Structure 1
Amino acid sequence: MSVALIVLSLLIGSLCGILAGLFGVGGGAVIVPAMRFLAPTLGLSPDVTMHAAVATSVALIVPTSIISARSHYRRGAVEMSVLKVWGPAIGLGAFLAGAVAAWLPTKVLGIIFGTVIILVGGLMVRGRPVPVISPTLPGKPVQAVIAGVIGLLSSWMGIGGGSLSVPTLSAFGLPVHRAVGTSSALGACIAVPALLGWVYSGWGVDSSTAPHFGFIQLVPFCLMLVPMMALAPVGVRLAHALPAQRLRRIFGIFLILTASTLLAKSF
């Protein structure tokens, strides 16, 4: 285990924790590109770099998403009627995406991640509320399809889904604080099934010379987890002390640049 790997993993975990609290954006948007950067020190084959990056990000999201969901639930910010419809569908989509991920070329995963993160970054730079397309949610079958697609994309990207579910719920008239709280609970519905799918997909795959569990890289996972969980409250405090709108736009530009670089490497 190199000193560089230890230091970089701790720094990345710290950054992700602060960003999660500051912007409400899960660490996957940072972890996945960072894991691509760490790939040589982990002895990753080029064919599985995105698989390892996404799977490790999903594993890191599990504990943080559960803690976040519990906090929002205690504050009464979770829309249970939405959770009952979206939860099973979003979980199924997340599991299936992880389960078939081994058959997807790493370039395809890179294209999916880069494209969606650029769109998310664009929304943050735009800095305006998502327009309401309907004051109420559609019928339950349509909601289930939407949730399934969000679960699918989130699992392939290694994110908790908030970047997709919050604007979607807001577009259907859910107040933003309840959209965020419900999205947090949906993040747990995504992360656990997605992790199971990725474990199944990567079972028996010799993806790295470093310690790993399928596609999940254990050294970065352990080193990033503690600072991620410890520093998220710091990000929350900063969010109340700094000009949030300007910071969101700066972070949106960062996401666009990072995702564009990753997207270019995928072609």
Structure 2
Amino acid sequence: MLVIGLICGFVGVGGAGFIIAILVLFHIPIHTALGTSLAAMAFTTLSGAYSHLREGNISLKAGVWTGGFGAIAAFFGSKLSSLIPSEHLHYLTAGMLFLSAILFILRFFMMKGKVEEVIDETLGYPTLLVKALLLGMTTGLLSGAFGIGSAPFIQIGLMLLFGLSIRQSIGTTMLVILPIAAGGGFGYIMEGYLDLMLLFQVLAGTMAGAYLGAKLTKFAPKPVLKTAMVATPVVAALLILFE
């Protein structure tokens, strides 16, 4: 978990896929691995969201409403996950991680030459609520069902639906993931798939590692960071598939 935390802090992702992959390698049942990784993200994204808020990188209206709808969907997504046989869930979770890598590539293409903008808080509520409902319910359901943070899905959605810049989408995504992880984690608790001691062990390692890994990010060239962001979910998916 310490090594995973180092990687996640360096790359700047939640790392749920890697956590799931390693837990599965240690013969933790897939449903318990999903619940533990999702619950852990509620804690690991808290400091990141607070930091981005202080830096002015978060669109509060978009983040709060999308996260709120996402939390509801994540709760029901965790119920859906309990109905999926474990042998099928391995492949579905790996598939979602591969798709995450593809979306990261698309995000890098979309941000090419994109100018940083001032966060727009003037979007009318009827339009905002419809967009937040669409994005929140979709990403929340994916997170709850497959135990992933859905960061690239959320980031792409914020850029396309709300017109946020890449910097704003990263910060707002941290805020959105927080309630989604909490809602999905609560759903897994209700299903009896959350091991509290295992959660504590995961948090102790990943939070310490993420703090140290974040210190290394500023020393890495951008091509290295982008490659690492794409490679992380791919490697995690391969570990799950060939466990």
TM-score by length of 2: 0.83
The residue type paired with residue 148 of structure 1 is M
* 2:175 alignment counterpart: 185
- The 8 Å contact of residues 121 and 252 in structure 1, kept in 2 or not, is answered as yes
- Residue 261 of structure 1 and its aligned partner are, at CA, apart by 5.0
Q: Which has the larger radius of gyration?
A: 1
Matches within 5 A, 1:107-186: 107-124=87-104, 128-130=108-110, 140-172=129-161, 173-186=163-176
* 2:18 alignment counterpart: 30
Give secondary structure in 2 for the equivalent of 1:128: helix
The residue type paired with residue 143 of structure 1 is A
Inter-partner Cα distance in structure 1 for 2:219 and 2:53:
25
Give secondary structure in 1 for the equivalent of 2:13: coil
Question: Identity across aligned pairs (percent)?
Answer: 23
Structure 1 unmatched runs, 5+: 1-12, 203-214
Inter-partner Cα distance in structure 2 for 1:76 and 1:251:
24
Matches within 5 A, 1:75-114: 75-114=55-94
Residues 1:195 and 2:193 are matched in the alignment: no
The residue type paired with residue 243 of structure 1 is P
- Residue 110 of structure 1 and its aligned partner are, at CA, apart by 2.0
Give secondary structure in 2 for the equivalent of 1:216: coil
The Cα offsets for residues 36-68 of structure 1, whole Å up to 9 and x where unpaired, read as: 1111xxxx5xxxx21011011112112112222
* 2:5 alignment counterpart: 17
Inter-partner Cα distance in structure 2 for 1:234 and 1:80:
28
> Which has the bigger relative contact order, CA under 8 A and spacing at least 6?
2
CA RMSD in angstroms, aligned pairs only: 2.6
- Cα distance, 1:127–1:89 mapped onto 2, change above 3 Å: closer
Give secondary structure in 2 for the equivalent of 1:130: helix
* 1:6 alignment counterpart: none
Inter-partner Cα distance in structure 2 for 1:88 and 1:250:
30
Structure 2 unmatched runs, 5+: none
- Of 26, 29, 37, 1:57 maps to 37
- Cα distance, 1:120–1:35 mapped onto 2, change above 3 Å: same
Inter-partner Cα distance in structure 1 for 2:216 and 2:201:
23
